Structure 1
Amino acid sequence: MKHRLIIIALFVSTFLGCTQLGKNRQDSIEIRKKPNIVFIFTDDQSFKAIHALGNEEILTPTMDKLVHEGVTFTHAFNMGGWNGAICLASRAMMISGRSIWRAQEISKAYSQDNALDKTWPRLMQTQGYDTYMTGKWHVQAKPEKIFNHVGHVLRGMPFDTPEGYDRPKDKTDTLWKPWKKEFGGYWKGGTHWSELVKQDALFFLDSAAQKKEPFFMYVAFNAPHDPRQSPKAYVDQYPLEKITVPKSYLPEYPYAEIMGAGQNLRDEKLAPFPRTEYAVKVNRQEYYAITTHLDDQIKAILNALEDFGLMDNTYIFFTSDHGLSVGEHGLMGKQNMYDHSIRVPLMMVGPDLPKNKKVDADVYLQDIMATALDIAGVQKPEYIEFNSLLNLIEDQDKKSKYNGIYGVYEASSQRMIRKDHYKLILYPNTKQILLYNLKYDPLELNNIATDKKNRALIKTLFNDLITLQKEKGDSLDLKSIYNKVIS
């Protein structure tokens, strides 16, 4: 009897104290001070641009630490964009909690100062959070209308100059260098923009550490978006002879024009046409260097959380708004449906989260918003279309809540579905279909759409894509295209 009582007591103690990730999570959070939430948002950072996630060329010790200290969602995606500025759609989805086409619609209301009470920071405020943002914004809502405190509000991309495009033509093309401040960009104003955002974040933390209210920080860096500028010491860490050309390298992508990412698209103008291995290596060198410089700024923020004694009650989210090609498939930008451009790093560190855990369920990066609301004790409104990640952390065997990942670029340029280790890409304007088996071809090198044995699979994926597009409010007549293509 005595042993039974001890066992019961241990069970009750374990049940009450071991997890805040289950159904009783909100109640357990209410018992103590609500946790702080720090959201770190980068720009143009592919899932491949972190050392701990498999890229041995790049140096990212701080991002690596987030991987080792928390949970990494290895298959996090952005849906795409309604125009060339993919970040615009991604950030609109993040702030609104709506999928791409409804996020575009609600953005029109934001521009008129309407529906602001339904934004992420306003929802956090309903639970007593002191909200703060600094850095890149690129959302129609005015940040001072929805955050309690605002630092520097930076534009969609740093001011660039013509010298930063169509380069390098060859080894003698040395006019533009990442550390040359006369070309503006990140150097405009005197302080590198990544350092400026870091300074803002440290200033807020110094104040927030003295307050009783929990805080929500939205810290958005422009890096590693072009112009890819950083101090010379960071570029010197990447000797060009040690930079490899990606296996998916092509001098030109055969469908670039028909998919809306041709030679007139700004991102694609960064390197010469056709691409050369030398130009790709230089662009990747500069991409790595600005990412490592960014990594050091994030390190200072994490160190401040430690120094102020805040880490034990703070959740940190890290992700990027989308990825980037930087020479893969003959492309430089992110206006495509390949994983290097739609797939991003997503790490989550917190006081009750497992360390060095990988979750491979398909998720959207905007699931972070729903997860933060879950942690804060905010009842998720019906209009939020994304899902909390907490249950996936809790149970590794749980499947994705999404019946396939939906991708889009512009009204009719590209559509994509990624499901069951297959990816189908459609270029509706020409009815061109690509199919990849991601299990055996993760770099998406071999289009198997023309293989007759895959006709049934294409039909199934196409029908699933039609279902997804209806769910997302996509008005393109895919059914008509399906009837013309699938016969």
Structure 2
Amino acid sequence: MPLPHTVARRKFLLGAGAALGATAAVGLTRAGAAAATGVRRPGSRPNVLWIITDDQPRHTLPTMPRTWKRLVRRGVRFTRGNVAAPLCGPSRASMLTSMYVHNHGCQDNETMAEFNGQGLDQDTIGTRMTQAGYTCGYFGKYMNGYSDSPTYVAPGWQRWVASLGTVSHEVNVAGRVRTVDMHVDQFATNQLKRWLKRRATEAAPWFAVFAPTNPHSDGWKVDSYGPSTEHEHDFDGVAWNPPALNEKDMRDKPSWMQDLPFQRRAKMRAAYEGKLEELQDVDDQVNAILNRLGKLGMLDNTWIFFVTDNGYMLGEHRLAKKETAYEECVGTPFVVTGPGVRQGSLSQKLVSTVDLMPTTLEVAGLDPEAGRPLDGRSLVGPLTTGDWSGWRTRMLTEHPLKSWAHLREGNTVLVDHYAAGEQEVYDMAADPHQMSSLHATTDTAAMTARLTALRNASGRTLRALEM
């Protein structure tokens, strides 16, 4: 017999489906460093929490009832939020630095060695928030390639609890590797809750990242998932039949895709079931963290961002993977709540995960323009005033290792497979599942030129090209 919460979750899924749509301050005192980075607003400052899931397709967000109720309904949900790159390591590097992949250069998924080798870990959201006087904690998955340096602690984080894999029970706690007797996501949740309780006795504001490994499959097996015993049967037999599943006519797709075999429907359905069930564990963990914030009286003074590192394809266009330029991969659930943010609103503005860092810096009272130029934009003004004039009208997503770049302008998406000399063009209003590319009948010269300029630009120049 299903548990009551299982029934509630299934009812929620049916109802919501329609709504889819240990280090210190790197050589500076906190006061001195804050001045050096351009602090603009003294006094009591809001806290900030990033929640970054792993391999979560945007369309799965409504299956998380507590997250939906407590974050989506209390904030802004963006239906056109994209990751900088649809691959875990490069995507996380972009979040930490507000740099697109062509600027930070970490293209491969085993990212950390290259990231650290370039010294990029010396100037991240963690170091800047620490320099601004925030107490910073990282809890969960950090960056791919981490297991090669399992005792590493990134600069800028006063509390460090980082999982070493999606299957392993090993966790780096303040530079020491521990084997824990529970799922690493639950361990990270417990550690974050304890850390938050200690923050209640301090005057300094805090910044935290909660990065669960779920809903990532176990290893590289598409249909291998390990939800908790509480949720392992929540979505037994759930249907999975999206319009693009095993697309029949692939003549409009790039040449490398045209002869792809069909994916096994049963395997794709099982993978979908596993993802949804693992997301119920994430849903519980998010709820527990929000409960702790509420009990500590912190919830109303905390900005919360909910995103993923990349989406995932489960048979759409005959693909079972990330790394492609389709909406299932490049799209992220993107939700923001915070003081002054309009509750329960929906936005079609173009936002990217490179926007997390500049937004967080402005929340902290910092000038995002001080120091190294950032590729992203701060959402603080638009979210609190409702004035989106001057916001980007085109947005880049890219995968330099696979030699493609993706440009969104209004309802139009151009994918330029520049090494192969092939393109795709979609009208996302008329064809949201990207079944019929219009490249053969569309003059893409001007749009291609804009996309090429974006994927070769950085900082202010890149942001000017978005207009």
Q: What TM-score do you get using the length of structure 2 for normalisation?
A: 0.77
SS at match of 1:319: strand
- Pick aligned residue for 2:163 from 154, 157, 162: 154
2:240 to 239, 244, 247: 244
1:307 aligns with 2:307: no
Matches within 5 A, 1:257-406: 258=256, 274-380=262-368, 381=370, 382-396=372-386, 398=388, 401-406=391-396
> 1:54-65 counterparts in 2 under 5 A?
58-65=63-70
> What do the CA deviations read for 1:295-349 (whole angstroms, capped 9, x no partner)?
0011000000011111122211111111111222222211101111111111111
Q: Structure 1: how far apart are the matches of 2:447 and 2:233?
A: 46
Q: 1:140 to 1:281 in 2, by over 3 A?
A: closer
One of 443, 446, 462 as aligned partner of 2:433? 443
Who wins on radius of gyration, i.e. which is larger? 1
Alignment correspondent of 1:422: 412
For 1:300, the aligned partner's letter is A
Matches within 5 A, 1:104-253: 104=105, 110-112=115-117, 114=119, 116-138=121-143, 142-151=152-161, 153-155=162-164, 157-159=166-168, 189-227=180-218, 228-240=225-237, 242-250=238-246
Residues 1:459 and 2:445 are matched in the alignment? yes
How many angstroms does 1:371 deviate by?
A: 0.6
Contact kept in structure 2, 1:42 and 1:320, CA below 8 Å: yes
Secondary structure at 1:146 match in 2: coil
8 A Cα contact 2:78 2:335, kept in partner: yes
* Distance across 1 between alignment mates of 2:406 and 2:76: 27
Amino acid at match of 2:138: M
- Shift of the 362–399 alpha-carbon distance from structure 1 to 2, 3 Å rule, reads farther
Change (3 A) 1:450 1:112: closer
What is the Cα deviation at residue 416 of structure 1? 1.9
CA distance in 2, matches of 1:397, 1:108: 41
Are the structure 2 counterparts of residues 60 and 103 from structure 1 closer, same or farther at C-alpha, using a change threshold of 3 Å? farther
Residues 129-164 of structure 1, C-alpha deviations (whole Å, 9 max, x = no match): 01111110116894343211112x11354359xxxx
Q: Give distance in 1, aligned partners of 2:244 and 2:185.
A: 30
Q: Is the 8 A contact 1:131 1:149 kept in 2?
A: yes
Q: 1:309, 1:30 → 2: CA distance?
A: 21
Aligned partner of 1:210: which letter? Answer: T
- Give the aligned residue type for 1:462: T
Comparing 62-71 and 135-144, the one that deviates more: 135-144
Aligned to 1:76: 81
Contact 2:350–2:393 under 8 Å retained in 1: no
Residues 296 and 201 (structure 1), Cα distance of their counterparts in 2 relative to 1, 3 Å cut: same
Aligned residue for 1:44, secondary structure, equals coil
Please say if residues 416 and 448 of structure 2, whose CA atoms lie closer than 8 Å, have aligned partners that are also in contact.
Answer: no
1:375 deviates by 0.6
SS at match of 2:136: strand
Q: Deviations over 1:374-408 (max 9, x none)?
A: 01011223421211012222454625733522232
2:454 and 2:118 mapped to 1: Cα distance?
30
Cα deviation, residue 114, structure 1: 3.4
Computed over aligned residues only, the root mean square deviation of the Cα atoms, in angstroms, reads: 2.9
Deviation at 1:277, TM superposition (A): 1.9
Structure 2 vs 1, CA of residues 428 and 462 (structure 1 numbering), >3 Å: closer, same or farther? same
2:93 maps to a residue whose letter is A
**Aligned-pair CA distance for 1:209:** 1.5
Query: 3-state SS of the aligned residue for 1:354?
Result: coil
Amino acid corresponding to residue 428 of structure 2 in structure 1: L
Q: Secondary structure at the match of 1:329?
A: coil
Change in CA separation of 1:319 and 1:354 when aligned onto 2, cut-off 3 Å: same
Helix, strand or coil for the counterpart of 1:301?
helix
In 2, distance between residues paired with 1:330 and 1:312?
Answer: 44
**1:43 aligns to 2:31 (yes or no):** no
Shift of 1:253: 9.5
Q: Within 1, Cα distance between the matches of 2:352 and 2:280?
A: 25
Shift of 1:431: 2.1
- Residue 221 (structure 2) aligns with: none
Change (3 A) 1:115 1:430: closer
How far apart, CA to CA, are the structure 1 residues paired with 2:379 and 2:389?
A: 11
Q: Deviations over 1:198-220 (max 9, x none)?
A: 11111211211121111111111
Distance verdict in 2 for CA 1:323–1:401, change over 3 Å: same
Alignment partner, residue 177 of structure 1: none
- CA distance in structure 1 between the aligned counterparts of 2:235 and 2:431, rounded to whole angstroms: 28
Decide whether aligned partners of structure 1 residues 100 and 207 sit closer, same or farther in structure 2, where only a CA change above 3 A counts: same
Identity, % of aligned positions? 21
Supply the distance in 1 between the matched residues of 2:210 and 2:137 (Cα, whole angstroms): 8
Distance 2:314 2:402 in 1: 24
Partner of 1:93: 94
Count of aligned positions: 393
Alignment of 1:406-417 (within 5 A): 406-417=396-407
The alpha-carbon distance between structure 1 residues 431 and 146, as it changes in their structure 2 partners (threshold 3 A), is same
Residues 428 and 47 (structure 1), Cα distance of their counterparts in 2 relative to 1, 3 Å cut: same
Aligned equivalents of 2:254, 2:182: Cα separation in 1 = 37
What 5-or-longer segments of structure 2 have no aligned partner?
Answer: 1-38, 147-151, 170-178, 219-224, 460-467
1:39–1:316 CA contact under 8 A, matched in 2: yes
Query: Is the contact made by 1:46 and 1:344 (CA closer than 8 Å) also made in structure 2?
Result: yes
Return the alpha-carbon distance in structure 2 between the equivalents of residues 250 and 214 of structure 1: 49
CA distance in 1, matches of 2:409, 2:122: 35
SS for the counterpart of 1:405 is: strand
Query: In the superposition, relative to structure 1, how do residues 446 and 408 fare at CA in structure 2: closer, same or farther (>3 Å)?
Result: same
The amino acid of 2:216's aligned partner reads: H
1:449, CA displacement in angstroms?
A: 1.7
CA distance in 2, matches of 1:124, 1:403: 29
